[in-house]
Amino acid sequence: MADEPMRIEDAVNETCPWSGKPIAADSLTRYAGAVVGFCNPGCRDKFASAIGHFEAALAERRLASSMGGTAE
Ligand SMILES: [Zn+2]
């Protein structure tokens, strides 16, 4: 599934959420099972690192609650 090529016409958005500029074919990624686009790879990478940041925070919180003894 991740090997499937992403096409700009499959992107759910038409403009970059950071800049409002039109999205570019070389600046696509996947989010929640959909193709989303950005105006350049730098914007896409900023999004990817934000997602990674939240994923890491969530994983840490799950770990903390499993060790905290508050769960049954
Ligand atoms: Zn952008």
| 27-50 pLDDT, tens digit each | 999 999 999 999 999 999 999 999
pLDDT score for 4: 77
Q: How far is the CA of 20 from the centre of ligand 1 (A)?
A: 7
68: confidence class by pLDDT, cuts 50, 70, 90: confident
Nearest to 25 by CA among 42, 38, 43, 12: 38
pLDDT score for 58: 96
Q: Which parts of the chain are beta strand (E)?
A: 28-31, 34-37
Q: How far is the CA of 25 from the centre of ligand 1 (A)?
A: 12
**Residue 59, amino acid:** A
Q: What is the percent of the chain where pLDDT is above 70?
A: 90
pLDDT score for 63: 94
Q: How far is the CA of 19 from the centre of ligand 1 (A)?
A: 5
Q: How far is the CA of 42 from the centre of ligand 1 (A)?
A: 7
The helix (H) or strand (E) run that includes residue 3 is none
Average pLDDT, the chain: 92
